[in-house]
Structure 1
Amino acid sequence: MRWDFGKIYKEIRLSKGLSQTEVCANQISRTSLSKFESCQSIPSIENMIFLLDQINMSLEEFHYICHVYQPSKRQEILNQISKNLSITGTAELEELQKLCTQYLETTHDIPIESINNILTLVIQLRENGPKNHNELLNQTAQKVWENLEKADNWYYRDFQLLNAILFYFPLENLRLIIDNMLNQLVKYQDFADIKPIKDKLLTNCSTLYLYNNFKSECEKVTLELLNLAKETKRYDSLGFAQVRLGICKGDDNLIEKGLSLLTLTEETALIQTLEYEIKNYR
């Protein structure tokens, strides 16, 4: 990790052929920029955002460069947890949990603690099966939920955490929690990065509703997933949503349309799951 942030900023500015005058304009003084670039001072958050905007760089990318073009330990954890846990091998999850444990030994970090709890949930679930929730699983899910429940608003990382524990909520609370989650997602409708996690959330909500025979709720959520899939050109999600809607509506043509699309995209495992659902929930 390089701590000479000002020097790094100067290197980037010069590599882009920008002068201090061009960067500062009439927004901040050249003296302030000079002190920053010579590592004599640190800008305010407002000024730092402005300076990064002038070199067309996000804070996340600047942080990555400060780590010598490598993710920090924290960012490495966040990058890996953002992957779909359902397709990550258990051995990989166990290695990620070791990384979390090592990081938490020296650093207080509430989000990473929550991620560590989620990893415990997923690993235990794979070892014991979905129907064998032990006390550790229930306690761990409760810890994650307590942090989310006390918040007035949920944010991007909160939606990721929520997605990981949806299947552990009591059935009597499920509809209320999902409704609250969907309402909170509205404020992120113009935030492009939310769309992949929204896809996962809607998919999981649809599954929970269908498997608990809440077909009207399943249809409503799946229709939203269908519209999102069309917007993002996610053909796997589009085919999935068409089959699910067909199951909810009793529409064989819609089911066949979705299965044909998934066949073209070679989603073999997903087709097998949906064929099971057609047989048992149609």
Structure 2
Amino acid sequence: MRWDYGKVYKEIRQAKGLTQEEVCGSFLNRSTLTRIEKGEIIPRFDNMVFLLKQIDMTLSEFKYICNEYYPSERRQIITKMQNNISYSNTEELEKLLIDCQNYLKNHNDIPIRNIYHRGLVILEIRKNGIKNNQALQILAENIWKELEVKDQWYGSELALLANIIFYFNDEAFPLITEKILVSLDRFKNYRDIKPFQLSLLSNLSTIYLQKGLIKDCEQLTQKILTLSKELKVYNSLGFAQVRLGICQRDESLIDKGLTLLKLTEEDDLVAMLEKEVEQFYKQK
């Protein structure tokens, strides 16, 4: 990782054919930019945001360049979890947890720790299921102890909740669900949180289905369907089609969803949903 990011900024600015005067405009003194590019001062946050905007670059891209055009170990872990937020296979998840453990040995990093906790819960569910799972209960309780005392839930808290929502008892569940939906609505225009939103809504709809609350399940699944189309997340789209087909008693919609998932080789998800169809659709 290059820490002479003033020099990196200068290299990018010059490569884009921009002068210091063009970048600074009336917002920043040219002498300040000169000192930043020489590494003599560290820019304030608002100045750095402005400077990156002026060269049409995100902070994420700038950090990628500072890391010699390669994602950092931390960024690789975060990206892996984001790309496998719902339906990654067990082997890949186990590798991700090992990466987290190795990284956390040398870094005090709360986001990576949260990813590790989420991964442990997901892995336990996949290996041993939810019912009568004492290890899973302990994992969920530890996460909830941290979340319960927070006044508001943001993106990271919602990501953790997505994996322990099944933990809440019948009495607490409606209140927790209401708070989750309010939090999601607050972030409805923030694209980065939408993958977590998909995961949360999917787990909530599963609980509603299992409780026999079909109308509630249908409403949430409609949200999943709309969001999946917007994000072009085809495994979630197929999932939503099958789930909606169960709620609406629409066999053609079930077939459509299963066909999509088979074409995209989501074999584990297909197997799970076929069991769901057998339990909640064919036996009704």
TM bin (shorter chain): 0.7 to 0.9
**Residue of structure 1 equivalent to 2:144:** 145
Q: Structure 1 residues 48 and 75, CA, compared in 2 at 3 Å: closer, same or farther?
A: same
- Cα distance 1:232–1:97, how it changes in 2: closer, same or farther (>3 A)? closer
139-148 vs 261-270, which moves further:
261-270
**1:29-68 alignment runs, 5 A limit:** 29-68=29-68
SS of alignment partner, residue 151 of structure 1: coil
Cα distance in 1 between the residues matched to 2:11 and 2:107: 30
What do residues 28-54 of structure 1 show as CA deviations (whole Å, max 9, x unaligned)? Answer: 000100000000001110110000000
The CA RMSD measured in Å over matched residues stands at 2.6
SS at match of 1:106: coil
Give distance in 2, aligned partners of 1:99 and 1:144. Answer: 20
The CA distance in 1 between the partners of 2:41 and 2:92, in whole Å, is: 42
- Segments of 5+ residues of structure 2 without an aligned counterpart are none
Q: 1:58 to 1:127 in 2, by over 3 A?
A: same
CA contact under 8 A between 1:202 and 1:222: conserved in structure 2?
yes
Give the corresponding residue for 1:202: 201
Alignment correspondent of 2:242? 243
Shift of 1:90: 3.3
Counterpart CA distance in 2 for 1:258 and 1:198 is 20
Aligned-residue offset at 1:85: 5.2
Comparing 108-117 and 246-255, the one that deviates more: 246-255
Aligned residues of 1:82 and 1:160 also touching (Cα < 8 A): no
8 Å CA contact 1:219, 1:248 repeated in 2: yes
User: In structure 2, do the counterparts of structure 1 residues 236 and 71 end up closer, same or farther at CA, with 3 Å as the change threshold?
Assistant: closer
Q: For residues 124 and 233 of structure 1, do their structure 2 counterparts lie closer, same or farther at Cα, with a shift above 3 Å needed?
A: closer
Q: Distance in 2 between matches of 1:219 and 1:196?
A: 19
SS of match in other structure, 1:199? helix
Contact 1:118/1:141 (CA < 8 Å) preserved in 2?
no
Please name the residue that 1:112 is paired with. 112
Structure 2: which amino acid aligns with 1:71? P
Hey, what's the Cα distance between the residues in 1 that align with 2:70 and 2:268? 34
User: What are the residue-to-residue correspondences of 1:1-282 with 2, within 5 Å?
Assistant: 1-84=1-84, 87-134=87-134, 136-234=135-233, 236-252=235-251, 254-256=253-255, 258-259=257-258, 269-282=268-281
- Give 1:260 deviation, angstroms: 5.8
| Bigger shift: residues 246-255 or 41-50 | 246-255
Q: Could you list the runs of 5+ residues in structure 1 that have no partner in the other structure?
A: none
Aligned partner of residue 172 in structure 1, secondary structure? coil
Give the SS at the match of 1:40: coil
Q: Measured at CA, do residues 65 and 234 of structure 1 come closer, stay the same or move farther in structure 2, by a change above 3 Å?
A: closer
CA positional deviation for 1:252: 4.2
8 A Cα contact 1:6 1:37, kept in partner? yes
Q: Deviations over 1:59-95 (max 9, x none)?
A: 1221122121222232222122223255434343333
Flag the structure with more relative contact order, 1 or 2, with Cα contacts below 8 A and sequence separation at least 6: 2
In structure 2, C-alpha distance between the alignment counterparts of 1:84 and 1:238, rounded to whole Å: 15
Q: CA deviation at 1:27?
A: 0.4
Deviation larger for 156-165 or 12-21:
156-165
Supply the AA of the counterpart residue of 1:146.
K
Deviation at 1:176, TM superposition (A): 2.4
